[in-house]
Amino acid sequence: MARSTASRINRALGITLGAVLILAIGVYGPATLVGPLPSTKAVIDDASDILPTLGAPTVSQNGASAISTADGSILASGGDAAPVPLGGVTKVITALVVLDAKPIEAGKPGPSIVVTDEDYAGYVKYISESARSISLIAGETWSEQQYLQSMLLGSSNTHADALARWAFGSVDSYVVAANAWLAKNGYAGTTVVDATGLAEGSQGTASELAALSARAFADPVLADIMSHDSVVVAGNRKVDNVAAYRGDDGITGLSRSFTDSAGLCFLFRLTVGTGKDAVPLYGAFLREPDYESLDGDLSTLISTAAATLTQTVLVSEGERVVTYTTPWGDEAHGVAVATRSQLIWLTTPVKKTITVDPVTTGAKGTRVGQVTFTTPTGDVTVLLELDRRIADPGPIWRMTHPAPVIDAFIESRTDK
């Protein structure tokens, strides 16, 4: 009887152990042989920024000066950093503010404007004061484009006031609108008290005016106007471009003026290089004492801008950016799919941001992330891909490494 009982117990234990074994195999097998694999380890090869090597072009230390890139970033500044009188540079602000309120298309006349008695009286006044002015007669009809051409190409004070009155009702109302526009657009150090710049109270910093110069040249209406050596406006009047200066040296003038309070002021674009390698920078040289000083400062800028313009390689095709190492000993790299370089003035480090995707296995050429460079001319992004295959390690490795495989299996079930 006792033997029969023991036999039954042993049989029950055998069945139980067998069931446990079958269950274990049923779980262990799928978990190791067909379950998910643990992720590979990703290590960034080089996350350091790209450092500048040559520095910035040299700007004037006379008066106040600055140069900027197309996005308004300041490359260099010199002289007085505080606001200084602007002189005729103020008319560029007038043009931008009026175009914001009364936009027109590049190369098109825009709305018609009838010359008022007040406009003509302003002309008589400015002529008597030997201030620059293009003639007009009360009752004539001009276009907005012709007003802008006379104000910018001819630096006509009469047309600056008349344009402000037409767009805003009065010069005083224009001044309020202009200062609001300056504050809104990030020119907190620049204020105006008139539309012409003859008043000493219209002041600004060289850095803000260099950035504003870039903004003006980016405006298609103003860029079109300043591309002409001369134009013919209402009444068959010829208006010469008085802002033009040293064009053979790659300079396009935006405003060139002189007043006793502001001195010699010049806003401009300098194009360095030719063809596909041509790169612009934008300058504001304010309070220059005389043309000899201005010429010397421009010559220095031109030569140093060419010397410091650098073809900066951001990343090369095939360059390793991230290294993937698998738990089973394989190694592959996330490499750049293309070469990217920029012809730029590099004065601050270029920040590198690397984003990598989790990888378990993958074929050669699989996309695994991207690297982004923050440059003076904007962000540049290059994709990353595997330079070799990361293969499944096979059943033997899976069966002999249960811990990482089962961890991956449990993690995959937990995530669902």
Structure confidence at residue 396 (pLDDT):
80
Band of pLDDT at residue 329, cut at 50, 70 and 90: confident
Residue with tokens 């040296």: 249
Band of pLDDT at residue 328, cut at 50, 70 and 90: confident
CB 239 within 8 A of CB 150: yes
Structure confidence at residue 6 (pLDDT):
55
3-state secondary structure (DSSP) of residue 135? coil
Contacts of 320 (CB under 8 A, 6+ apart): 45, 333, 334, 335, 387
Residue 10 has pLDDT above 60, yes or no: no
Residue 401 has pLDDT above 70, yes or no: yes
Rounded to whole angstroms, the Cα distance separating 299 from 163 reads 36
Kindly report which listed range (193-197, 217-221, 306-310, 319-323) carries the lowest average pLDDT score: 306-310
Structure confidence at residue 348 (pLDDT):
85
Mean pLDDT calculated for residue range 225-229: 96
Distance set, CA 355 to CA 23, 57, 173, 303, 382 (Å): 42, 34, 51, 40, 11
Amino acid at 184: K
Q: Taking Cα atoms as reference points, which of 190, 182, 406, 165 lies closest to residue 284?
A: 190
**Mean of pLDDT over the chain:** 89
pTM of the model: 0.78
Taking the CA atoms of 72, 75, 77 and 81 in sequence, report the sign of the dihedral they define: positive
Band of pLDDT at residue 376, cut at 50, 70 and 90: confident
Structure confidence at residue 405 (pLDDT):
67
Instruction: Count CB-CB contacts under 10 A for residue 285.
Output: 30
Rounded to whole angstroms, the Cα distance separating 134 from 34 reads 86
- Percent of the chain exceeding pLDDT 90 equals 73
Structure confidence at residue 277 (pLDDT):
83
DSSP 245-266: --GGGTEEEEEEEEETTTEEEE
pLDDT single digits (tens) 84-125: 999 999 999 999 999 999 999 999 999 999 999 999 999 999
CB 85 within 8 A of CB 261: yes
Contacts of 34 (CB under 8 A, 6+ apart): none
Band of pLDDT at residue 23, cut at 50, 70 and 90: very low
Structure confidence at residue 172 (pLDDT):
97
Residue 54 has pLDDT above 60, yes or no: yes
Helix axes 90-101, 206-218, angle to 10 degrees: 50
Structure confidence at residue 18 (pLDDT):
40
CB 75 within 8 A of CB 345: yes
Residue 356 has pLDDT above 80, yes or no: yes
Structure confidence at residue 105 (pLDDT):
97
Q: Which residues pair with 322 in a beta bridge?
A: 44, 334
| Helix runs in 189-334, H state only | 206-218, 220-226, 291-308
Mean pLDDT calculated for residue range 279-285: 96
Distance set, CA 122 to CA 87, 114, 161 (Å): 18, 15, 8
Residue with tokens 């000066």: 65
pLDDT single digits (tens) 120-143: 999 999 999 999 999 999 999 999
DSSP 83-109: -EE-GGGHHHHHHHHHHHHS---TT--
